[in-house]
Structures are given as structure tokens and as C-alpha cells.
Structure 1
Amino acid sequence: MIFPKGEVVHKNLSTSFTDLSALISTLRLENFSGTIEIDFPDTRGILLIDSGQIVDAEATGDNGSERILGEEAIQYLLRLASQKDGILSIYRLLPEQVILLANNLRCEPLFKALSTNFIHFDQLLTKLKEGKHNGFIEVMTKDHQPIGVLFLEGGEPVEMFTLPKNGPAVFGRMSIQIFIENVKKHGALFNVYGRENKGLSQEPVVVEKKEVLLHQDHESPQVKEEGESVPINLQEEKNLSGNETLKETLSLLEEFLSESERIVDTLTRKGMFLKNFKKALIEKSEQFGFLDPFAGEFDYRDGTIQLREEVESKDLVKGIVEALRVTLSHLEKELPQEKMLPLKLKAGIETFLAHHKGVLTRLKIEPFFASFL
């Protein structure tokens, strides 16, 4: 993958004088999100960091023929960085941009070095749309200089970044159409990468938008300006449209997710749950539009859910449970040696159901949680 270079934090640090482990500890305290690029004469690698935690990594040989990913790559790069003759560079990105990269890191090449001299770019996009393609397209000039990367979900362009000659990479889905038109106009080479199509429903959930938000004390309404989002944060005791059912549901979901996170991270390592859960949110966002991390409507972090649009409680629970199901699937593939993980996770959910049976039944959401078992 062509990786974006974000805002420069440190550049060209020598491994002879830099302790990478200590540097990562500092970045963790700063809640840093971005990348650490590691360059040695015969090896190149990158660590993807979300909110201070290493969520994925890639290491390749000098000619790109050898490639390792995930935990193996993380440990390899940490060992390698303790040697001399290497260079470290650190670039800041947004957390959702890091997760986008991690979610596509395992895509496999489908077509290499296609040229607009022989293939119409818009026709290729149409074909990928018909096939509900998940993956990305690397775009390069005709002399193989990288221009940018276009990401696809269900065949639809969802995000992109371009690589200017100077300065950090530029992300922005609003520029996708202009990017496509420029490729068609000036010509380019491109590589197409894909991952397994999960066969998700292509019908997004329509999220109803409310224009009036009531204060919790019900004294006076707060009129929301057009385009403005007011987050729900239970710790701040904000109540979206006076919806007590949604408030109760959010509280249950926070406990549900935080307990799942505790179980997974205890059996694996800290950050493993959140990494895979965020990947799952992207995959399920086609079916549950409010889960799209790039739309900014839903976020889970540190045991707290923030929701910026009103969603039916049943849809919210169903979406979260489905995302957790995909999360477990990812974990089982990434950590096949952890045979107890699915058993302990399901046991934790059974305990949760038993403890909250009365409330879950009253809110009519118990079947959605139970469907995970």
C-alpha cells in the first residue's frame, strides 16, 4: 500500500540515538494517532498507531518481495529499531484515518500497473461498483510516481488521499469526483487491491434527524442550527430529544462493550479489541449507516459511547451486536491460538444478559443481544 505521510512530528531520527520503545511510550501518553515509518538499508516498515496504541504494522524487504503483517511485523520492527543504521519518521494522522489504513492493510493485489492508455478509469469504477468491491486503488503517474489512493466500500468511493509534492497527505471524500476527473483527463497507472466481500446489505439505515433538542430539566428547548451536531455523552448527562429509552440503551451498550473490551484485551493485549471493533464498524457501516466512523455519528472509546444523531434503540443495539460479531471473527482469524477467546466472550455476554434481564426485556432489546450467542 502507498501510505500517506501526515503532519510531521519527527523526521529522520537515527536509530543509533533513538529508543523506539521509549518514544512509543511517550506517544501513548500523548494519545497520539498516526504512523511511525522505519527505514533500514534492506527493510522498510510502518507502525500504525491509534490513540497511543499500535494497532497494526507492515514490514517489507527492500524489493517488496517479502511482507509480514500484524503482531509478527510489530515485534520484528521493534527488534529491528534497536539496531544501528536505521531512520525513524513520525507522522500525525486522525484516528479514523489510521483505522482506514489498518482496515485495508491485508488487501490482496488484483490488478497491477493498469494504464488509462488501455482501460477507461470510469469504466473500471463502474465494474467495481457492480461487484460491490471492497478495497482500494493506488493511482500513479505514468512514470510511476504515486498520486494518491482511492478507497472503496461496497463498490462506492468512500475516502481518498492525495500526495502533494510538499506537505502532508490530503484526505477528503469531497474531492473524490475531482480526483477521478483528473485521472481521466491526464491519464495514470493504477493498482487495484481487494479484500473479501462480506456480502453486506447495501441498503443503509436512514437516520432521522431531530431539529430540537430538549434540556434534561425540560425548562426550554435548544434549537439545533442546521448542520450542527450535539453529542450524547452519558457522563455529561445529555439527553437526546428526551429519549429515556435511548439513554438506558446507551448505558447498557457501554457496559456491554467495555466488558467485551476487558475480556479481549486481558486475553490478548491492550488495544486489540478497539482495533478490530473499529474495523468492524467500517464493514458494517453499509448496513448500519450511523456506525460509519467517517460520518462522525458514533464513537466508542474508553468505555464511553458518543452518538451525534438520534437512532432507534433497536437499530443501535442490532448494529453494535453485529459489529461485535464481526470483531470476534477478525480476532479468531488474527489470533487462532486463543481458543478460549470466543468462549470467554460469550460467557461474559451470558452474564450480562442474566444481570440485566429485566431491563433488557422491558426495552424489548434482549433478543438482539441473545442473537450473539
Structure 2
Amino acid sequence: MMFPKDRTLYANLNTSFTSFDALIADLKERKLTGYIEITAPAYTGTLLLSEGEVVNAQELSGDKRTVGPEAARGVMERAAQKDGVINVYSAFPDVVLLLHRLMDSRPLYRDLTSAFTSLDRLISKLRSDGLTGYVEVHIGENEGAGIIYLAGGEPVESVFSSGGQMTNGQEALNAIVSTVNTSGGTFNVFVEAGDASAAGAGAAPPAKPQEDFRAELLAFWDDVISITESTVDGFAKPGRFLMAFREVLVSRAVTYPFLDPFAAEFSYAGGHISFDHPLPDDFNKALGDCLSDAVSKLAFQFKRADLETRVRSRLDGISEKHAAIIDRFGLRDDVQEFVA
């Protein structure tokens, strides 16, 4: 977590020459609301203060993150050692309160990429869900990082760091969105540990009896998609089909919401579909449309007018293998471009 700062009270105090107890007493008397930050090689410790009282803490040491009382003790101990740097910042009370709530947050989505996910759309999704949490943004090839804090789904504060410069507020939010649109990025979403509105986000609803023939239907689509994937990747760079297919899933999510990657309902990887929810009525139509779009997209990119013919040839025999399920669900119209 990066912390937004309103005003710097003390800058670059050396721990070797600073009485940390005296500093804490001074800030308590001032009733400071803000942060004390201690930095050292491969270490950053932060104490969160409200009205002069330490309410929470965070330690980052290498790849390890610690929060709460244990982190507060660690920061105090590091402040007593040599060659650390202390900075003290004020912050708005509502922001400090939100950060206190989010210190022990939990991940909701990890490693979303701008290649498949629009940051604007992600924020709209989180707004509609009314989530309280934050979005970590890592831009391009180490071109910067940002964080967007949300309360009840609304962005309330942002921090953007790039080239050694840090900005806050609306300026930071605008910079994050603009830079991601230009250079791309990856996103991680975290939510307040006790946020009831997020309890079901990205998770399957309570289990219900599975539909009849569900396994057979998914096995049919596994065969169709995986054979198409191996056909494409057989004469192209491995992974090209999956990339195109995922791009199509995102674009088709407007028509078929269950394909939305933020809903975490549908996924395809390693030759198998994962879908734990009840099958929507338009499930087969959606997959047929997406498969057709992906193959057409790739045929254009590769300048291979024969790609559909190659796929159709490889799928020869699928209609016999899955004849019962094709007839039961009337799938011929959905896959007629590929399965005779």
C-alpha cells in the first residue's frame, strides 16, 4: 500500500540522531492525524496516527508485508537503530480512517492485465458493486505504480509514483488512467476484510444440484475449443489462440455478462472450461460466437484464409463423438461453422 500525504511535517530525520520516543510524544501533543514513515535499505515501516494515537501499522521488508500490532512493534524497533530515515506527514482524517480499515484487506482479483481488462471498466465494476478497497496498478515495464482507494465503490483518493515523483488526488487518478492507456499495466484488487458486499464477488453462489448432462456438455466444449487451440498454435506462436480467445471473451461480456472476467465465473485454460455456476440459457450461443470471433480474428492477423477450413478439418468426428449432447441441446446452429 502507498499512502497519500497531505503535508510534510518533518523530512529526512536520521534515526541515529532522533529520539523516536520524543518524536512520538511531540506528535501526540499535536494530535497529528497522518503517518510516520521509516525507510532503510529494503525496508519501509509506517505508523498510522489518528489524533496523535497509533491506530495501525505496516512493515514492508523485502517481499514480506506485516500489519497491525506486530508491525507497530517492528517499526518502533527499527526506529531505534542507526541509518534509517524518518519522514512525518499529515493526512485527511477520512483517508486515515479508510486506510486503517483497509490495512488488513484481502485480495479479490490478482494480475489482471490491460490487454484484457480496461481500468475504466474495472473501476466501474467496483463502483457498481459498492466495494470498499483499493486497486494496485503497476504500469508498463517499471514505468510507475499507482493505487486507487475506494469507499462504497467511489474513488476517494489516489497515489501515483513515477520517475521519483509522487502525486495524490484527482491528478494522480488522471495520471494513472492516462499512463495505463498509453503503456499498459497490471492490476490487483483488494477489499476490506469484512466487506459484506464483496463476500460473493468472484465466488460461486451456494451450491445447487447440477443440471442434467452438464458434464457432457462441458466436455463437448472442452474438445471443440482445445482442438481449435492446438490447430491454431500448431502453425503460430504458442498461446496466440488463448490470447485472442480471452480478448473476445472480454468484448463479448457486454452481451454475455457471465463471460466478464471480473465476475470470475467462466475461464478456459489447459484445455478445460471452468464454470461453477448454473449454465445460462445462452451459454452455448455465447461460446459459439466467441469461438467464431476468435478464429476470424486470427485468420485476419495471420493472413490465413484457410484457417477456418483447417479447424473444421481437425474437428471432423466431433459430431459423432458428441452426437447425443449436440442433439439434446440443439448445438448444431451454435457450432455449424466448425462442426458439420
Q: TM-score, normalised by structure 1?
A: 0.46
CA distance in 2, matches of 1:113, 1:103: 23
Q: Give the corresponding residue for 1:90.
A: 88
Tell me the SS of whatever aligns to 2:130: coil
Query: 1:38: how far off?
Result: 1.2
**How far apart are residue 45 of structure 1 and its match?**
0.8
1:168–1:30 distance in 2 versus 1, CA, 3 Å: farther
In 1, Cα distance between the equivalents of 2:7 and 2:158?
A: 17
The structure having more radius of gyration, on CA atoms, is 2
CA deviation profile, 1:226-252 (whole Å, cap 9, x unmatched) = xxxxxxxxxxxxxxxxxxxxxxxxxxx
Whether 1:70 and 2:68 are equivalent positions in the alignment is: yes
**Distance in 1 (alpha carbons) for counterparts of 2:122 and 2:56:** 30
Deviation (angstroms), 1:178: 7.8
**SS state at 1:74 partner:** helix
The answer for the alignment partner of 2:134 in structure 1 is 136
Q: Are 1:44 and 2:41 counterparts?
A: no
Query: Which residue is 1:22 aligned to?
Result: 22
Matched, 1:107 2:105: yes
SS of aligned partner of 1:47: strand
**CA–CA distance in 2 between the matches of 1:130 and 1:8?**
35
Match of 2:7 in 1: 7
- Deviation at 1:30? 1.8
Match runs of 1:247-266 below 5 Å: none
User: Paired residue for 1:190, among 187, 192, 204?
Assistant: 187
Is contact 1:2-1:149 (8 Å) kept? yes
Change in 2 beyond 3 A, CA 1:77/1:159: closer
Q: How much has 1:145 moved relative to structure 2?
A: 4.2
Contact 1:144-1:189 within 8 A present in 2 as well: no
Q: Which runs of 5+ in 1 are unaligned?
A: 201-373
Alignment of 1:144-223 (within 5 A): 144-163=142-161, 169-172=167-170, 180=177, 183-184=180-181, 186-195=183-192, 196-199=194-197
- Asked if the contact 2:160–2:173 (Cα under 8 Å) also holds between the matched residues in 1, the reply is no
Deviation at 1:181, TM superposition (A): 5.8
Q: CA deviation at 1:47?
A: 0.7
Tell me, yes or no, if the aligned pair for 2:4 and 2:158 is still in contact at 8 Å: no
Secondary structure at 2:142 match in 1 = coil
1:56 pairs with 2:56: yes
Moved more, 11-20 or 102-111: 102-111
Change (3 A) 1:108 1:146: farther
Conserved 8 A contact 1:152-1:158: yes
1:60·1:68 contact (CA, 8 Å) conserved in 2? yes
In 2, Cα distance between the equivalents of 1:54 and 1:70? Answer: 10
- Of residues 182-191 and 46-55 in structure 1, the stretch that sits farther from structure 2 once superposed is 182-191
The CA deviation at 1:111 is 3.2
- For residue 25 of structure 1, what is the amino acid of its counterpart? A
Q: 1:171: Cα distance to partner?
A: 2.1
Structure 1 residue 199, shift from structure 2 partner: 4.1
Tell which deviates more after alignment, 155-164 or 50-59: 155-164
Structure 2 CA distance for partners of 1:178 and 1:11, relative to 1, 3 Å = closer
1:95 CA displacement? 2.2
Conserved 8 A contact 1:7-1:168 = no
By how many angstroms is 1:57 displaced?
A: 0.5
Shift in Å, 1:91: 1.9
Structure 2 portions without partners, runs of 5+: 199-340
Partner of 1:362: none
3-state SS in 1 of match to 2:13: strand
Q: 1:80 to 1:175 in 2, by over 3 A?
A: closer
> Identity of aligned pairs, percent?
32
Find the aligned partners of 2:67 and 2:53 in 1 and give their Cα distance. Answer: 16
Look up the equivalent residue of 1:41 and give its one-letter code: P
Indicate conservation of the 8 Å contact 2:8/2:89, yes or no. yes
8 Å contact kept, 1:27–1:52: yes
Whole-angstrom distance in 1 between the partners of 2:183 and 2:41: 35
Q: Which amino acid in structure 1 is aligned with residue 75 of structure 2? A: L
The alpha-carbon deviation at position 147 of structure 1 amounts to 4.1
| CA positional deviation for 1:175 | 7.8
Specify whether residues 145 and 2 from structure 1 end up closer, same or farther in structure 2 by C-alpha distance, changes over 3 A only: farther
User: Structure 2: which amino acid aligns with 1:142?
Assistant: G
* TM-score between both structures, scaled by the size of structure 2: 0.50
State how 1:333-372 maps to structure 2 within 5 Å.
none
* Residues 51-105 of structure 1: CA deviation (Å, up to 9, x unaligned): 21211101122x222x322222212211221122322122222222222222221
Deviation, 1:35, is 1.3
1:162 to partner: Cα distance: 3.5
Q: Return the alpha-carbon distance in structure 1 between the equivalents of residues 76 and 60 of structure 2.
A: 14
Residues paired across the two proteins, number: 197
Q: How far does the alpha carbon of each residue in 1:126-177 deviate from its partner, in whole angstroms, 9 at most, with x for none?
A: 43344432211122321234443212233333333334757763224x9857
Residues 6, 168 of structure 1: 8 Å contact kept: no
